[in-house]
Amino acid sequence: MTHNLVVNYNLYQKMEVFRPHLVAASAMTRFHSDDYINFLKVISPDNMQEYIRQLQRFNVGEDCPVFDGLFEFCQLYTSGSIGGAARLNQSKADIVINWAGGLHHAKKAEASGFCYINDCVLAILE
């Protein structure tokens, strides 16, 4: 729906698409715990049975399911938010939008509400 509005109102003609560099896991530890980030890097549907305790500890599994490419998904949307904040800080943009971002329910060492990484907090810290 958002895409249709942007196209139908010709807003895309006034927009610049920015593709940020992927942030490293270490950038995510500015807010999230090392243990939690390391867990997100290794967990997959294939190895979930080996991480039962961590799945419970980090609240991953029910409303925050494990899926192939989970960490890469987190890395992509977090990179957009951090990259957008950097552009604002460097006065390279007045407004930035990360259509994939805004996953603000994640806690320091816990997923919540399909939010694994709190990209909003990381963007603010940027």
Q: Which residue has the tokens 């990209």?
A: 119
So what's the pLDDT on residue 17? 87
Question: Is 105 marked active-site?
Answer: yes
So what's the pLDDT on residue 1? 82
So what's the pLDDT on residue 3? 82
The Cα 47–Cα 52 span in angstroms is: 10
The whole-model pTM stands at 0.90
So what's the pLDDT on residue 12? 86
Angle made by CA atoms 114, 54, 60, in degrees to the nearest 5: 10
The Cα 42–Cα 81 span in angstroms is: 23
Q: What is the mean pLDDT, run by run of 10 residues, along the chain of 126 residues?
A: 89 89 97 98 97 97 95 97 98 93 96 97 97
So what's the pLDDT on residue 36? 98
Residue of 21, 32, 104, 105 marked catalytic: 105
Partners of residue 112 on adjacent β-strands: 115
Rounded to a whole number of angstroms, the CA Rg of the chain reads: 16
